[in-house]
Amino acid sequence: MTIIRRFSLALEELVELNGEDVSPPARPMPAAPTLSGVLAEIGSLPREALFLGIASDGLPVLLNLHDPNPGPLMVVGDSGTGKTSLLKMIAQAAQQTHHSVDVQFGVITNDPADWEDVPSTDHCVGVFSVHNDNTQEFILSLARWAHANKSKQAFLLLIDDLESLAKLDFETLQNIRWLLLRGPSRRVWPILTLNAERYGQVLSWIPMFRTRIFGRIGDDRVAEALGGDKVSALDQLEPGDQFSLRENGGWIRFWRPGF
């Protein structure tokens, strides 16, 4: 199953929870929707659902945190296409739709100051710089937790810029590789960003990501190398707000609500 198929199953559960039929009109997204407004309109989500965005038909795009099949997620696009903003929106959506005992997250980034606009709640265990020794301790602790985790609590490992991992030591990189390969089966979900123009710097990491969320990529050759095709038309995505992912051989576009 893909994310969107699991989204369909999650939507069926949402219908049952709300006790009414959901027949959304097929229309473009309204201008600049806010995350709080979108989530309020959707209503209750299934406990295992992580909100990723809103499709052009008005339905939510959800990730089932209890199904490891998608594996780790890579958000890839040209510079300035909203990759970090999507990561921050996912973090805020987790805060607004889940209790901290069910979902928590931690962030690894080149620029911790860039995450200061994400509210501080019990959901966030920390925002770690790749230049700080605390990052190594965080990853080691997370790997140990994942090895032992038998609960239904999920953890989002948000890494803003895959290329920045080169600054970490060998042991930390090995733990991250293990989390990419085994994490989702133990409820640890790595979600990383990648600047499409610099994909050649991290070629050995890219095959680990079966699920790729694309922002705008202007160069068709780069898009194809990362898994896009002519049908995906990644060069036509709206920079900063619109994304696309593959679903059963086709493509679905979705929008990132504003903060």
Q: pLDDT tens digits for 154-169? A: 999 999 999 999 999 9
Question: Is 216's pLDDT higher than 70?
Answer: yes
Tens digits of residue pLDDT in 114-171:
999 999 999 999 999 999 999 999 999 999 999 998 888 999 999 999 999 999 999 9
Question: From CA 251, how far away is CA 230, in angstroms rounded?
Answer: 11
Of the candidates 248, 250, 240, the one whose C-alpha atom is nearest the C-alpha of residue 86 is 240
Tallying the residues shown for the chain, one arrives at 259
DSSP string for residues in 60-123: EEEEETT--TT-SEEEEESTTSSHHHHHHHHHHHHHHHS-TTTEEEEEEES-GGGGTTS---TT
Is 3:70 a contact under the CB 8 Å cutoff? yes
What is the reported pLDDT for 33?
A: 84
Among 7-16, 98-107, 227-236, where is mean pLDDT lowest? 7-16
List alpha helices for the chain, DSSP H.
3-18, 35-42, 83-97, 133-148, 170-182, 220-225
Among 89-93, 120-124, 188-192, 245-249, where is mean pLDDT lowest? 245-249
Question: From CA 15, how far away is CA 13, in angstroms rounded?
Answer: 5
Mean pLDDT, the chain, as a whole number? 89
Question: Is 24's pLDDT higher than 70?
Answer: no
Question: Is 17's pLDDT higher than 60?
Answer: no
The percent helix, strand, coil of the chain (3-state, each to 5) is 40, 25, 35
Tens digits of residue pLDDT in 27-39:
454 456 899 999 9
What is the reported pLDDT for 25?
A: 46
Homologous superfamily in CATH for domain 3-255 = P-loop containing nucleotide triphosphate hydrolases (3.40.50.300)
Tell me, yes or no, if the pTM score tops 0.75: yes
Place 21 in a pLDDT band, splitting at 50, 70 and 90: very low
Tens digits of residue pLDDT in 49-75:
999 999 988 899 999 999 999 999 999
